[in-house]
Each structure stands twice: as structure tokens, then as C-alpha cells.
């Protein structure tokens, strides 16, 4: 299939890798080869980076990367709990720093990026439990100077799916309180039955087969008729009472339609929801080509939505 990507992307398309996530280790090697040798070079001046660890509900520990302004305007700080992408199988908080560090700088906020455990070594529910444990931890007495009344859940791709799932559970169990969910290209539906999920078999960077393999790694091979809504938030029957949402989707992304459907269902459930569909984009395009004007617009819109939530 031919994809009419944004003109700014066209000269760079030949540099995209052929990503195949059927083998998790090989996929991780490909992604590592794309990373900067010094990822912390992407951190803006004036942002302090701290590495912390926190206990999980199963008795383990996971790492957190905390981004905060060196000279914040006030204390305590609002907090953005951020979940990196990677199809549930690759990525980590220590190298995926561009977006969370920029959010800390632009919003004068603390951003806590969660190094949740990865499938297939740690399938659902472990990554989800890590994500919810992180919310409980930042809302508690952790010494970070966080304002627990101004917590935002944010993420991209699989991380956005985790953010949506954490919002569901926080509603279901009565807290911790979340004021907003910012979901960039969220992974929400393991059924893969939407038009975009079925038609985009060779879309740039992420395609239907990668989606199938990603869910296989995350869920194993269970009876999909009983998939938990905390694994696939699109399965949730009731979306009422969730925090307001911002959802961004890319036009040439197998995940496009599940994001659109989720935004529509949130709206119908009475949840204030803003949806952006960016023409000429594909899954992860703003991350791999951040210098392009369309990528900068995606980042700016995402940041502005969170700013509105924090100041309203």
C-alpha cells in the first residue's frame, strides 16, 4: 500500500528500520540501534534528572526516572506520571527521555517516568500492576514534593494504553485521584478488528502483524473472550466517571481507529474528551522525526492539553 506521508517526512523515510516484534529480543536490538548514544543530551537545560526506585505490590522493585525543574515556580509541583511506549516489549524510562523531560520544562511540573516490567518475560498483569503501583506511590508520602491533587496520567502507544487502564482502575477502586489522561496513539484493543487495524498490513514502523505479536507477548494465548479491560481498555463496558482525556492518533497507524472509537465512547459517557487526528503521520512518527513541523505541532498540542488541565 502507498502511504501519503507528510512531505517533511518523505526524505527521511528510507532511514526507518523494518521493525518485526515477533521476536522480542531482536525488536529490542533494533530499537536500541535507533537510540542516541547519549540520550540524556535530549534533556533541556534547567531540568534535573533523578533516578529512584519503588516497591511493587508483588514484592519486587522497579525504577523511576524523575524529571523536575531546577528552580520551580512553586511547591508542591503538579505531577505527570508518564509511561513510555514499546508495544509492551521494549523501551525503558532511562533512554526514552525526550517527551517527559520536555514536559517538565514546558509545564514547570514534575514528570515521573515508570520503568514498568516488560513482556514476554513479564506478561499482563505485571506491567499494568507496576503502572498502578506507581500511581499509588506518587500519590503517597514519597518525599518528592508532589501535589496529589494535580496528577496527570500520560503516555504513548503501549504506555498510553497503560495510562488509560490505570485511569480505569483508579476510578473503580476510588483513587488515587487523577485529573487528566493524555493518550498519544494509545494501544487499547486486542481484538484488532477496526478498519485501520485490518488494512494497514505494511504501514511504516508499526503494522498489523506487529500488533498481533505485541498482544501475543503481552497476553500470551488466553481465551480472548475474557480479556481484562485493564489489559485492553477498549473492552471496558462503562467509561463514565473517568478523568477528562486528550487522545492523539496518526492517520497511517493500525491503532488509529481504536483511539477514535475510545474518544467517541468517552464523549458519549460524559467524559470531556479532545481528539486530534494528524494527517500524513504514522505510528511513532513524531518520535523518530521530531524535527519535522508536523511532529513539533503534535508535541505542542499534547503539551498544551496537559497545561490546560493543570491550570483549569
The residue from 113, 157, 185, 286 that is catalytic is 157
Model pLDDT, residue 307 = 98
Give CA–CA dist 163/161, Å, rounded: 5
The residue from 84, 122, 217, 283 that is catalytic is 283
**pLDDT-derived band of residue 222, with 50, 70 and 90 as boundaries?**
low
Contact assessment for residue 262 and residue 234, using Cβ atoms and an 8 Å cutoff: yes
The residue from 6, 92, 184, 253 that is catalytic is 253
Residue 60 falls in the annotated catalytic set: no
Could you list the beta-strand ranges (E) of 122-272. Answer: 146-156, 180-184, 245-252
Continuous H helices in 152-226: 158-173, 195-199, 208-219
- In this prediction, residues 152-158 reach a mean pLDDT of 98
Model pLDDT, residue 186 = 98
Size (the chain), residues: 312
Beta-bridge partner residues of 156? 184
- In this prediction, residues 272-278 reach a mean pLDDT of 98
Could you list the beta-strand ranges (E) of 104-158. Answer: 110-114, 146-156
Residue 84 falls in the annotated catalytic set: no
Model pLDDT, residue 36 = 55
**pLDDT-derived band of residue 42, with 50, 70 and 90 as boundaries?**
confident
Give CA–CA dist 165/163, Å, rounded: 5
Contact assessment for residue 200 and residue 253, using Cβ atoms and an 8 Å cutoff: yes
Model pLDDT, residue 75 = 84
Identify the H or E element spanning 311.
Answer: helix 293-311
Q: What's the number of CA atoms in the CB half-sphere (13 Å) around residue 114?
A: 37
Contact assessment for residue 253 and residue 202, using Cβ atoms and an 8 Å cutoff: no
Model pLDDT, residue 33 = 77
Residue 283 falls in the annotated catalytic set: yes
Name the nearest CA neighbour of 234 among 273, 186, 172.
186
Name the nearest CA neighbour of 253 among 85, 117, 95.
85
Amino acid at each position: 500500500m502507498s502511504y501519503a506521508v507528510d512531505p517533511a517526512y518523505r526524505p527521511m523515510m528510507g532511514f526507518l528500520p523494518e521493525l518485526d516484534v515477533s521476536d522480542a529480543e531482536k525488536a529490542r536490538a533494533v530499537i536500541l540501534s535507533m537510540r542516541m548514544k547519549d540520550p540524556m543530551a535530549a534533556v533541556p537545560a534547567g531540568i534535573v534528572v533523578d533516578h529512584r526506585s519503588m516497591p511493587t505490590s508483588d514484592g519486587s522493585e522497579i525504577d523511576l526516572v524523575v524529571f523536575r525543574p531546577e528552580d520551580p515556580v512553586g511547591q508542591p509541583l503538579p505531577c505527570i506520571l508518564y509511561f513510555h511506549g514499546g508495544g509492551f516489549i521494549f523501551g525503558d524510562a532511562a533512554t526514552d527521555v525526550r517527551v517527559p523531560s520536555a514536559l517538565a520544562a514546558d509545564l514547570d511540573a514534575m514528570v515521573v517516568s515508570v520503568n514498568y516490567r516488560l513482556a514476554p518475560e513479564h506478561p499482563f498483569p505485571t506491567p499494568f500492576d507496576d503502572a498502578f503501583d506507581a500511581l499509588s506511590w506518587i500519590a503517597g508520602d514519597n518525599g518528592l514534593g508532589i501535589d496529589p491533587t494535580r496528577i496527570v496520567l500520560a503516555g504513548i502507544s503501549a504506555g498510553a494504553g497503560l495510562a488509560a487502564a490505570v485511569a480505569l482502575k483508579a476510578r473503580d477502586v476510588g483513587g488515587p485521584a487523577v485529573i487528566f489522561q493524555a493518550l498519544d496513539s494509545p494501544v487499547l484493543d486486542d481484538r484488532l478488528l477496526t478498519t485501520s487495524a485490518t488494512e494497514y498490513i505494511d504501514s511504516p514502523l508499526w503494522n498489523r502483524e506487529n500488533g498481533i505479536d505485541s498482544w501475543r507477548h503481552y497476553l500470551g494465548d488466553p481465551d480472548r473472550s475474557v480479556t481484562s479491560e485493564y489489559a485492553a481498555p477498549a473492552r471496558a463496558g462503562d467509561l463514565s466517571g473517568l478523568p477528562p482525556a486528550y487522545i492523539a492518533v496518526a492517520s497511517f497507524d493500525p491503532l488509529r481507529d481504536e483511539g477514535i472509537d475510545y474518544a467517541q465512547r468517552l464523549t458519549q459517557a460524559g467524559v470531556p474528551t479532545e481528539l486530534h487526528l494528524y494527517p500524513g503521520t504514522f505510528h511513532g512518527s513524531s518520535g523518530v522525526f521530531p524535527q519535522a513541523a508536523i511532529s513539533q505541532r503534535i508535541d505542542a498540542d499534547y503539551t498544551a492539553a496537559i497545561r490546560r488541565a493543570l491550570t483549569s
